[in-house]
Amino acid sequence: MRGHELLMIPGPVDFEPEVLQALGAPTTSHVAPVFIEVFGRALERMRAVWQCPSGQPLVVAGSGTFAMELAGANLVVPGDRALVISTGVFGDRFEDLLSRHGAEVTVLRAPLGGVVEPDRVEDELRRRRFKLLTVTHVDTSTAVRMPLEPLGDLGRRHGVLTVVDGVCSVAAEEIQQEAWGLDVVLTASQKAIGVPPGLALLVASPAAVDAFAARRVPVRSYYADWGKWLPIMQSYEARQPSYFGTPAVNLVVALGVSLGRILDEGLAPRFARHALLGGAFRAGVDAIGLRQLPLGEKARANTLTACYYPDGVSGPALLAAIGRAGVTVAGGLHSEIKDRYFRIGHMGAIRAAAILGTLGALETGLQEAGHRFELGAGVAAAQRALSR
């Protein structure tokens, strides 16, 4: 296990002590009344965090990729057309996933660091009829954030189910699932939700549940089949015991605690906190002369930042130097530029001290690597942004 360094990668993140305490509690039976109550309350809290009062929450042991599988496997049948909006690695992953389930997939790819404009999406929706549209809200490989509200509107107007990969955004970037007409919003526990890895989470709209109920072809994945999981979720929420597969008991208990803390903070203040901290971090990296991967401020996420290495600076050497200064950040993930950039996560429980400490460690590492800049400029710029 790591020591006391700051963990500033795009997930897993650092977790609140209360969440870790809940995770370490004695494990109970998955059909014990006390656990049924905890699980049912967590499902209710998910509707509030997702802002989807009529939605159906699902909590299943698995990763964010499995949350994608829970959406794709149940909403397409062989021959269905799907439109994938890709701003990086995880948009491309949806192309692969949906193709495995027999969909005919069309991909709209953004230029590296850019977004896919809604007009381009609408042109494609007018050209052909699609059953499903998928979008990665914040792609963890590029730190690019896509606007969601226009896509929900397009989905409603063109009769298309809209699926949002919110793995790197839910509970940190604003998402009003029901108001914006988004049919599925999925995520994983280890990012802004604030629970250690191991839970795939999603909320499905009534239209998505109806589309699943209308399918006449068996779901190709046994474990991902909503037909197995929907009765389980409905039973727990009705405070009744049920069983298909054993839930991750301690993780669900921790989820309930974390969702409670998110709602106690308030969604609007939480989104504002992430916007403030993300903006302060970006101001800091700009001040020390680092070029960011997303093209323009509107495309930049508040949950993570992706920066190119300065010319002449070795990526592995810089990451190691930042680590020696007490902060862990992540290398690149996008295959086209993997060795040319690095990523810093800032979501969940973080506060201003983590932003300033990370920028200080980054400056220390850059100085050690020979990058020329005004020492302290990044921290000072972030402080100015935070003071505003």
DSSP state of 354: H
Could you read off the pLDDT of 207-254 as tens digits, one per residue?
Answer: 999 999 999 999 999 999 999 999 999 999 999 999 999 999 999 999
Could you read off the pLDDT of 40-61 as tens digits, one per residue?
Answer: 999 999 999 999 999 999 999 9
Banded pLDDT at 388 (limits 50, 70, 90): confident
Residue 206 has pLDDT above 70, yes or no: yes
- Please tell me whether residue 332 adopts helix, strand or coil conformation: coil
Query: Which whole number is the average pLDDT over 156-182?
Result: 98
Cβ neighbours, 10 Å, residue 124: 18
Could you read off the pLDDT of 106-148 as tens digits, one per residue?
Answer: 999 999 999 999 999 999 999 999 999 999 999 999 999 999 9
Residue 323 has a pLDDT of 97
Cβ neighbours, 10 Å, residue 268: 9
- What's the rounded Cα separation, in Å, for the pair 386 and 119? 35
For residue 344, what are the contacts with CB-CB under 8 A and spacing of at least 6?
8, 9, 10, 281, 304, 305, 306, 307, 329, 330, 358, 362
**Taking the CA atoms of the chain, what radius of gyration do you get in angstroms?**
21
Cβ neighbours, 10 Å, residue 325: 19
Could you read off the pLDDT of 29-45 as tens digits, one per residue?
Answer: 999 999 999 999 999 99
Could you read off the pLDDT of 248-280 as tens digits, one per residue?
Answer: 999 999 999 999 999 999 999 999 999 999 999
- What's the rounded Cα separation, in Å, for the pair 72 and 303? 25
- What's the rounded Cα separation, in Å, for the pair 91 and 146? 11
Could you read off the pLDDT of 78-110 as tens digits, one per residue?
Answer: 999 999 999 999 999 999 999 999 999 999 999
Classify the phi-psi angles of 62: left when phi > 0, otherwise alpha if psi is within -120 to 50, otherwise beta.
left
Residue 192 has pLDDT above 80, yes or no: yes
Residue 322 has a pLDDT of 98
Q: Could you tell me which CATH class the domain 6-10+267-387 is placed in?
A: alpha beta
Residue 3 has pLDDT above 90, yes or no: no
- What's the rounded Cα separation, in Å, for the pair 154 and 374? 47
In contact, 281 and 303? CB cutoff 8 Å: no
Residue 176 has pLDDT above 60, yes or no: yes
Strands 56-61 and 81-86, how do they pair? Answer: unpaired
Query: Which whole number is the average pLDDT over 153-174?
Result: 98
DSSP 46-71: HHHHHT-TT-EEEEEES-HHHHHHHH
Residue 268 has a pLDDT of 98
Could you read off the pLDDT of 340-382 as tens digits, one per residue?
Answer: 999 999 999 999 999 999 999 999 999 999 999 999 999 999 9
- What's the rounded Cα separation, in Å, for the pair 74 and 76? 6
- Is the domain covering 18-265 a CATH 2.60.40.420 domain? no
Residue 297 has a pLDDT of 94
- Helix-then-strand count for the chain, H and E: 13, 14
- What's the rounded Cα separation, in Å, for the pair 265 and 18? 14
Residue 2 has a pLDDT of 56
Query: Which whole number is the average pLDDT over 175-196?
Result: 98
Cβ neighbours, 10 Å, residue 227: 14
Q: Which phi and psi angles does 77 have, rounded to 5°?
A: -120, 160
Residue 193 has a pLDDT of 98
Q: How far is CA 286 from CA 48, 50, 306, 363, 370, in A?
A: 36, 32, 12, 12, 17
Give alpha helix (H) positions in the chain.
17-23, 33-50, 64-75, 89-100, 118-127, 149-158, 206-214, 226-237, 249-265, 267-287, 315-324, 352-369, 377-387
Banded pLDDT at 5 (limits 50, 70, 90): confident
Domain boundaries, the chain: 6-10+267-387, 18-265
